[in-house]
């Protein structure tokens, strides 16, 4: 039997909290690939492709006066094809339960009429999962690939080597690990956690290699705070920047807030030694699926390997989010409508009375020029 204290104890709830802030979406925002971003290209349908017709650095031939022209072979043409990954989820809510709950964060006597407050929060939850999927794809594009793990009719994005098949962005092997980018030997020939390593020299060589490979200079580096610390304490970086000065000229948080109103967890730094290069220090991560239906938290940039992404200024000339489409019927009797990219709607059932929150997204980052990216391991 319940005690008097249990029966008459007040039910006072004054707020609702989340133990996890809204996950960061800084990578997709950097590229303009977020939902509604400026670097989304609505192509439509299920498949996509692009043709390749390269410009040339070759030099025209000379001929003697009175002679005919030299014969030059036509420039070769290539083609890349792909299929849009389809993300499709729903949250089903029983109206019997929704009609008998209080509003989240409020005392027991305040009924959440129709569960509207609860429904809104579930819609936000579903949208966050879709945004997280885009963030995952962009982060793994920087590394060159990701895998897809199948479990029945469901498919889960996972890290390379953990899935059934791979989504490969064709980043050259020389643009990975220690960066043998032009086949002249590894550019990163010593660990960055050694203060005597010539990091300044490495960065200049990477910039030279990127100019040779694509003509797009190095302008941004994404990594974590541990690698950034090694850079700040590097002897060569300190000497080139001036021993009487701080190693960096600027080091500040990104002046932007997430959907929950909290500051983003990205810092941007500029070294005195290399003022044309921006460092993005990003320690965020996501819960990634593993075998057995469980998940494991993975940071976007692994400290153990000193993962660093080198890239030019973002632009649709070398990378963008391509958007697919599909026919959607919002309710019984409604006509089918072609919806592009992310689209969310609600659907009501009568047996039993319930509401379904449904969303779909057809999109994938298209890396038109794989050689424009380099992903190095500076701790090896």
Phi, psi of 147, deg, nearest 5: -105, 165
Confidence of residue 11 (pLDDT cuts 50, 70, 90): low
pLDDT digits (tens, 9 = 90+) for 207-260: 999 999 999 999 999 999 999 999 999 999 999 999 888 899 999 887 666 666
pTM for this one? Answer: 0.92
Burial class (CB in 10 A: 0-12, 13-18, 19+), 278: middle
Q: Which residues, at least 6 apart from 254, have a Cβ–Cβ distance to it below 8 Å?
A: 26, 264, 266, 267, 268
DSSP 3-state assignment of 373? coil
| Cα(357)–Cα(346) distance, integer angstroms | 5
CA distances to 26, 104, 117, 182, 197 from 22, rounded to whole Å, are: 12, 18, 18, 41, 38
Report pLDDT for 131. Answer: 94
Q: Which residue has the tokens 């043409």?
A: 77
Q: Which residue has the tokens 């133990």?
A: 19
373 within 8 A of 309, measured Cβ to Cβ: yes
Phi-psi region of 293 (alpha: psi -120 to 50; beta: other; left: phi over 0): left
Confidence of residue 12 (pLDDT cuts 50, 70, 90): low
Of the two residues 301 and 256, the one the predictor is more confident about is 301
| Cα(85)–Cα(226) distance, integer angstroms | 34
pLDDT digits (tens, 9 = 90+) for 343-373: 999 999 988 999 999 999 999 999 999 999 9
Closest CA to 154 of 87, 83, 90: 87
């Amino acid at each position: 039997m319940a005690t008097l204290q249990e029966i008459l104890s007040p039910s006072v709830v004054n707020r609702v909290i989340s133990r996890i802030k809204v996950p960061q979406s800084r990578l997709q925002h950097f590229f303009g690939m977020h939902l509604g971003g400026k670097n989304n290209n609505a192509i439509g349908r299920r498949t996509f492709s692009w043709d390749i017709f390269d410009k040339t650095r070759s030099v025209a031939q000379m001929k003697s006066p009175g002679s005919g022209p030299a014969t030059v072979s036509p420039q070769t043409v290539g083609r890349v094809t792909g299929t849009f990954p389809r993300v499709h989820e729903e949250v089903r809510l029983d109206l019997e339960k929704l009609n008998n709950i209080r509003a989240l964060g409020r005392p027991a006597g305040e009924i959440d009429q129709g569960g509207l407050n609860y429904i809104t929060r579930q819609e936000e939850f579903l949208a966050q999962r879709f945004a997280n999927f885009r963030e995952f794809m962009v982060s793994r594009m920087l590394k060159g690939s990701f895998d897809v793990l199948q479990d029945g009719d469901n498919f889960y994005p996972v890290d390379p080597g953990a899935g059934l098949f791979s989504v490969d962005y064709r980043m050259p092997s020389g643009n990975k690990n220690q960066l043998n980018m032009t086949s002249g030997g590894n550019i990163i020939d010593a660990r960055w956690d050694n203060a005597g390593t010539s990091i300044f020299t490495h960065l200049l060589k990477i910039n030279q290699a990127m100019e040779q490979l694509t003509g797009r200079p190095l302008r941004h580096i994404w990594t974590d705070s541990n690698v950034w610390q090694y850079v700040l304490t590097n002897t060569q970086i300190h000497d080139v920047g001036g021993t009487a000065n701080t190693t960096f000229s600027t080091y500040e948080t990104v002046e932007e807030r997430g959907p929950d109103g909290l500051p983003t967890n990205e810092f941007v730094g500029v070294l005195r030694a290399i003022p044309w290069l921006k460092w993005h220090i990003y320690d965020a991560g996501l819960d990634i699926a593993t075998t057995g239906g469980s998940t494991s938290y993975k940071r976007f940039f692994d400290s153990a390997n000193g993962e660093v992404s080198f890239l030019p200024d973002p632009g649709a000339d070398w990378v963008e989010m391509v958007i697919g489409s599909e026919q959607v019927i919002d309710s019984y009797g409604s006509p089918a409508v072609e919806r592009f990219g992310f689209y969310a709607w609600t659907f009501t059932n009568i047996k039993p009375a319930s509401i379904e929150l449904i969303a779909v997204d057809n999109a994938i980052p298209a890396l038109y020029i794989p050689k424009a990216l380099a992903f190095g391991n500076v701790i090896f």
